[in-house]
């Protein structure tokens, strides 16, 4: 089963290479007259963490707890578009630390996490009201935890690779207001992962402000410390265009 999943990720990565080559070929062909367009987004995701551990206990961490324990965080995305093709990467980094005294024991918990989602998109529908892109990419999850109890420290870490396919676009309400949407699903090291994001955006002359609700979910293989995990909550971001 593991070999099959690893092979499937290899196939997806191979397809990604072909798509990147397709961008170059398109630039030399029908999209030659198109200029590159670049964008970047900085956002705050007010997300909580839920799910279930491998032992069956529930995971439930509110955003207030996460925000209060943050040592460092970064959430953003970059994208480049030429004609119908686009390449983009979404990146989330969290570094949390909490210290408490429980039953006379000094306990510290540190958590570091990366979630990186690079993808290639192709526009299949473009009109004054609707834009629809199909996406192919990968999602990388890295978790590292360190537990300290009265000076003794224990640590564990692991990563997760999944190939994903999805759609992305927007529906224009008028010249300024629009509804952005995103949906993907995939598998690989996970049994399944999926993500959805729906919101409302307002377009200024050189930037957009977007408010949305985002949900990200993983179902891991049996026998892991975490059986399933989800991150969900409201999000606000600012998009810049160059």
| Ordered DSSP codes for 45-80 | E--EEEEEETTS-EEEE-HHHHHHTEEEEEEEEEEE
State residue 229's pLDDT score.
87
Element containing residue 61 per DSSP (H, E): strand 58-61
User: What is the pLDDT confidence band of residue 50, given thresholds at 50, 70 and 90?
Assistant: confident
Q: Look over the chain and give the mean of its residue pLDDT values, rounded to a whole number.
A: 83
State residue 191's pLDDT score.
92
Write down the residue that tokens 């007010």 correspond to. Answer: 46
DSSP code at position 36 = P
pLDDT at 234 over 90: yes
Alpha carbon separation from 17 to 137, 189, 197, 222, 233 (Å, rounded): 10, 20, 26, 31, 33
* Domain segments of the chain as ranges: 2-241
**Which tens digits make up the pLDDT trace of 109-151?**
677 899 999 999 999 999 999 999 999 999 999 988 776 767 7
% of the chain exceeding 90 in pLDDT: 53
Higher local confidence (pLDDT), 196 or 58: 196
- Which CATH class, in words, describes the domain spanning 2-241? mainly beta
The token duo for 236 is 């606000």
């Amino acid at each position: 089963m593991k070999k099959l999943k690893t092979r499937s990720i290899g196939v997806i990565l191979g397809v990604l290479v072909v798509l990147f080559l397709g961008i170059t070929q398109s630039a030399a062909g029908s999209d030659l007259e198109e200029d590159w367009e670049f964008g970047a987004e900085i956002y705050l995701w007010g997300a909580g963490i839920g799910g279930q551990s491998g032992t069956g206990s529930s995971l439930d961490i509110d955003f207030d707890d996460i925000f209060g324990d943050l040592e460092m965080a970064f959430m953003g995305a970059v994208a480049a578009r030429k004609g119908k093709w686009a390449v983009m990467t979404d990146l989330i980094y969290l570094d949390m630390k909490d210290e408490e005294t429980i039953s006379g024991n000094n306990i510290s918990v540190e958590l570091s996490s990366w979630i990186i989602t690079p993808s290639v998109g192709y526009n299949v529908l473009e009109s004054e009201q609707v834009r629809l892109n199909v996406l192919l990419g990968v999602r990388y999850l890295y978790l590292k935890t360190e537990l300290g109890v009265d000076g003794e420290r224990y640590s564990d870490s692991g990563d997760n690779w999944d190939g994903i396919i999805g759609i992305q676009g927007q529906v224009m309400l008028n010249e300024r207001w629009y509804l952005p949407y995103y949906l993907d699903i995939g598998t690989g090291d996970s049994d399944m992962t999926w993500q959805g994001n729906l919101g409302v955006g307002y377009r200024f002359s050189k930037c957009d402000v977007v408010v949305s609700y985002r949900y990200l979910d993983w179902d891991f293989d049996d026998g892991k410390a975490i059986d399933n995990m989800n991150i969900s909550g409201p999000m606000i971001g600012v998009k810049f265009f160059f």
